[in-house]
Amino acid sequence: MSSTPAADEKKRGKSELNWLMRLLVIIEKAGNKLPHPFWLFLSLAVIVMILSAIFSASGLSAVNPATDEKVTVTNLFATDSLREIVAGATNNFVTFPPLGLVLIVLIGVAVAEQSGLIPAMLRGTIAGASPKWITFIVALAGTASSIASDASYMIMIPLGGLAFKAVGRNPLLGCLVAYAATSGGYSAAPMVNSLDTILGGLSTSAAQIIDADYTVSPVANFYFNFVSMFVVAAAVTLVTELLLSKRADQIELDEETEDDSFDVKMELDGNEKRGMVIAVISIIVCAGVLFALAWPAGSFLRDEAGGFGPESGLMAGIAAIIGFGFFIVGIVYGYATGSIKRTADIPEMMSKGLLPFVPVIVLFFAASQFLALFKMSNLGEILAIKGAEIFGALNTGPFIILLGGWLLVAVGALFLTSGSGLWTLMAPVLVPMFMLLSIAPETTQALYRIGDSTTNIISPMSPYFVVVLGFVQRYKKDAGIGTVLSFTIPLSFAMFILWGLLFFIWWATGIPWGPGAATHYHMG
């Protein structure tokens, strides 16, 4: 008896799912073999020391085309090197570029988050949305939610489910749309956040391998990030409405239970609405004060030439300005709603808000030592020069170079899902190598954002992959990894392609990535 087309289609579906599950098992096993990032960076530091001794003895060298100076490998086991390593350990950590930037931004963000301002902003964006626009609004709110850092997942995923449920759509789909937009669009945001300060600091350290005076500002990709927010939301919306909504309609959800442990309040109450109005007014006032301070020709926020370049007070101090802005608006909202009742509540909020980032600070210690040794050995500079020479000999255009870097990052993000951790590994090689090929660090950093963010959502190594699975199982108890992946893979692919197209169009037109951020790098 011959099989029917429907039966053949079902067999093909099972075969594809089996292949996918086998691939996931391979990825999961490979990822689980990686040590914790802290030990990974310390191990790499030891490996760098060993390689420095080997290549120093072999006489490895290269000529830096930017300075025409011969670069040789420094043996880190030499007496002078060991002395410098021990003496510089504290300074390496304290002066690690992302450390101070992240802390000063997070102090302000912590107040805004703990006072309830950021959660209220996200809830207010979604509550009462039109059923016709619910997917785009949830996706847009997800991409914008990175201002709440990792807390955005715990806010957005249940909100997405409740928003879809409120308009009569599958809440499981809402959870997955929110997760994909939040994770996949983590680097696409309406304002500068902690990730911008981390990536900018790491890019600065990497760029200074070639150019000691080069600085990558936290707002280096601001224009690109802002536009990317809408592109990512559009990609999520298109795939959801054209493909995934049909699949979601075929999934039978479990009967409603009384368990509301994942529920969050959608609507803003009168007190919160009043607080939001006052917070918006305070934002306008803060922006007006900043504008007034920057307006005079001799303002301390301008540079010596009277502009707003990288050396101006505005750009050099942008992290402090942003952190202070969050701090002030968060306090205003807190007093308006009663979440702040006494001045002692404010430092307590700072402490509580910083707690989730303690592991990041611990990671920074190991990363700072690894990068310091890598730079001290000159291996990074030589590797970048040799890599640039290979690309030059192949006579490949910058498009092929950027395409290769994009794919390399995307693959790496499947195994190391920490955005800052992966960039700590890749920046010391990619940034200087691309600089020698006339590609600016800001361009390389923008490229990194796309590859890293969009593949995170399909990696079982991501801690939030398990989180979204837990929320999904609230609506369908037998949902598993395959359920999540059947939705997130199409979303990941769409974001990867559309966001990539935006990048290459942006790069081809030479539009600045952010204030004072170049597209191309010119040596000399």
Q: Pick the more confident residue, 15 or 107.
A: 107
**Residue 60: what residue type?**
L
- 3 domain residue, yes or no: no
Mean pLDDT (whole number) for 496-524 = 88
Average pLDDT over residues 463-477: 75
**Residue 189 has what pLDDT?**
76
The yes-or-no verdict on residue 1 having pLDDT over 60 is: no
Question: pTM here?
Answer: 0.67
* pLDDT grade for 506, boundaries at 50, 70 and 90: very high
Is residue 372 pLDDT above 60, yes or no?
Answer: yes
**Which run of H or of E encompasses 102?**
helix 97-114
User: 523, 388 in Cβ contact below 8 A?
Assistant: no
Distances (CA, A) of 272 to 143, 156, 333, 341: 23, 18, 9, 15
Residue 155 forms part of a structural domain: yes
Amino acid letter for position 454 = T
Residue 122 to residue 151: CA distance in whole angstroms: 12
Neighbours of 103 (CB within 10 A): 17
Q: pLDDT band for position 234 (50/70/90)?
A: very high
> What percent of the chain is predicted at pLDDT more than 90?
23
Distance separating alpha carbons of residues 98 and 88, to the nearest angstrom: 17
Residue 192 pLDDT level (bands cut at 50, 70, 90): confident
The yes-or-no verdict on residue 454 having pLDDT over 80 is: yes
Q: Assess whether pLDDT exceeds 50 at residue 24.
A: no
Give the Å distances, CA to CA, from 485 to 9, 262, 271, 432, 457: 19, 22, 40, 36, 9
Write down the pLDDT at residue 388: 64
pLDDT of residue 399: 86
Q: DSSP characters for 449-509?
A: HHHHHHHHTT-TTSHHHHHHHHHHHHH-TT--HHHHHHHHHHHHHHHHHHHHHHHHHHHHH
Is position 517 within any domain?
A: no
Selected residue with higher pLDDT from 473 and 389: 473
Instruction: Check pLDDT > 90 for residue 165.
Output: no
**Residue 51 domain-assigned (yes or no):** yes
Question: pLDDT-based confidence at 28, cuts 50/70/90?
Answer: very low
**Residue 524 resides in a domain:** no
H/E/C letters for each residue in 325-367?
Answer: HHHHHHHHHHHHHCCCCCCCHHHHHHHHHHHHHHHHHHHHHHH
Secondary structure of the chain: what % helix, strand, coil (to 5)? 70, 0, 25
Inter-axis angle of helices 222-239 and 441-456, nearest 10 = 30
Amino acid at 159: L
pLDDT digits (tens, 9 = 90+) for 237-274: 999 998 888 878 777 776 654 444 445 566 788 888 89
- What's the pLDDT at 84? 93
The region of weakest confidence among 71-85, 241-255, 408-422 is 408-422
Q: Please tell me what DSSP assigns to residue 297.
A: T
Cβ atoms of residues 402 and 98 within 8 Å: no
If you search the block for the tokens 């490998």, which residue do you land on?
Answer: 73
Of residues 97 and 413, the one with the higher pLDDT is: 413
**Residue 443: how many CB atoms within 10 A of its CB?**
28
Average pLDDT over every residue of 18-35: 55
Tally of structural domains, the chain: 1
Q: Strand, helix or coil at 418? A: coil
What mean pLDDT comes out for the span 137-156? 77
Query: Which has more pLDDT, 465 or 300?
Result: 300
- Highest-pLDDT range among 114-118, 157-161, 166-170: 114-118
Other CB atoms within a 10 A radius of the CB of residue 280 amount to 14
Q: Mean pLDDT of all residues in the chain? A: 80
Q: Is the pLDDT of residue 26 over 80?
A: no
Bigger pLDDT: 404 vs 75: 75
| Encoded tokens for 74 | 């420094």
Residue 390 lies in a domain: yes
In whole angstroms, what is the distance from residue 230 CA to residue 169 CA?
Answer: 23
Kindly state whether residue 468 falls inside one of the protein's structural domains.
yes
Residues 6+ apart with CB under 8 A from 177: 135, 138, 139, 142, 160, 164, 236, 240, 491
Range 337-340, long-range pairs (CB < 8 A, 24+ positions): 337/115, 337/116, 337/271, 337/272, 337/274, 337/275, 338/271, 339/114, 339/115, 339/116, 340/115
* Rounded CA separation 142/147 (Å): 10
- For 141, the domain range is 22-509
pLDDT at 199: 87
Return the number of other C-beta atoms located less than 10 Å from residue 510's C-beta: 9
pLDDT of 20 above 70: no
For the cut 90, the answer to whether the pLDDT of residue 125 exceeds it is no
Q: What is the pLDDT of residues 294-351, one digit of tens each?
A: 888 888 888 787 777 656 787 677 778 878 888 999 999 999 999 999 999 999 998 8
Quickly state the pLDDT bin for 458 (edges 50, 70, 90). confident
pLDDT for 86 equals: 93
Span 28-37, average pLDDT: 57
Which segment of 94-103, 234-243, 268-277 scores lowest on mean pLDDT?
94-103
Kindly state the helix (H) or strand (E) to which residue 72 belongs, with its residue range.
strand 69-72
CA atoms within 13 A of residue 10's CA, in its CB half-sphere? 5
How many contiguous H segments (helices) and E segments (strands) does the chain have? Answer: 22, 2
pLDDT value for 513: 93
pLDDT above 70 as % of the chain? 80
Specify if 11 maps to a domain.
Answer: no
In this prediction, residues 429-457 reach a mean pLDDT of 88
Tell me what pLDDT residue 13 has.
Answer: 47
pLDDT score recorded for residue 258: 41
> Hey, which residues does 63 pair with through a beta bridge?
70
Query: 101 pLDDT exceeds 50?
Result: yes
